[in-house]
Chain A
Amino acid sequence: MRLPCPICGARDRREFTYRGAAVALERPDAEAGPEAWDDYVHNRDNPAGVTRDLWYHEQGCAAWIVVTRNTATHEVLGSILASEARRAGSAS
């Protein structure tokens, strides 16, 4: 398996560390209430299809990235720097 790092290009999976669903980029506001926080801390989708995950290019350029992939077909659809994904998210 190879993952596309937005900085380094396609690299072997063993250079990366997996964090999990990219919800960490959508941290609720401190006043958001218990349901939003419960979702953020505990609840995860388990999609058969497209998912967005956080990976760390630890054994590479040291960037955090969001990789979009399909859990059913194993197709890797693309990636973006986590810092950019976050800026894009907060702008919407």
Chain B
Amino acid sequence: MVDLKPKTPCAGLVPLRVGPLSLLEDAPGHMTAIAPYLGQDAALSEALKAAHGMAAPGVGRMSGTRGARALWFGQRMILLIGPAPDAGLVKFAALSDQSDGWAVLRLEGQGAGDVLARMTPLDLRPTQFKRGHTARSDCAHMPASITRLGEDAFQIMVFRSMAATLVHELKIAMGRVVALQ
């Protein structure tokens, strides 16, 4: 039997370092889209808490901690990142495995927000988009999920097929921002 080697979406593309900025890949074990059935939101949140230690995030928010996170991922959609989903969740929501479908990148360092501001129309000002805030938006014309992880740290997710394009665009923007620092 052929032994296939797993390859992460950004393998060979990152890590990238430009001045104080770094672009790294986070390759979580599992990613699962969770779409709560109508009227089951509260029950799902309880089940998430019991099984994975975090309540369902509100609109535009992320819950949990590194290793097991729940990310608001669109209208009536949550993305569980890290653990394999508890089997009991299927009572309250439709689950679909996204594990290999998304590239997960982390952009961090001084000027990370300026880099992203060149790529997305989101209002990223720290008073508007705080740590733990997340949004679905446009990133260099690609559908993306953008989350603030810290003052100068963001998670950026795009479809796996767009990973190389995103890294390419980020690399150019990182160079331009660093040139102005």
Which residues of A line the B interface, CB within 8 A? 7-8, 11-12, 14-15, 57-63
Contacts and interface: CB of A to CB of B under 8 A. Distances in A.
A8 B138 contact: no
B121 A8 contact: no
Say what secondary structure dominates the interface of chain B: loop
Interface of B: 59-60, 74-75, 77, 121-122, 135-138, 143
Given A7-B59, A7-B75, A8-B60, A60 B121 contact: no
B136 A12 contact: no
B121 A12 contact: yes
Contact of B143 (A11, A59, A63): A59
Contacts of A12: 121-122, 138
A61 B121 contact: no
A61 B73 CA distance: 7
A58 B143 CA distance: 8
Nearest to A15: B138
B136 A59 contact: yes
A20 to B, nearest CB: 21
A15 to B, nearest CB: 5
A59 to B, nearest CB: 4
A8 B135 contact: yes
A58 B138 CA distance: 9
5 contacts: A7-B59, A8-B60, A8-B135, A59-B136, A60-B74
Contacts of B77: 62
B116 to A, nearest CB: 14
A61 B74 contact: yes
B53 to A, nearest CB: 26
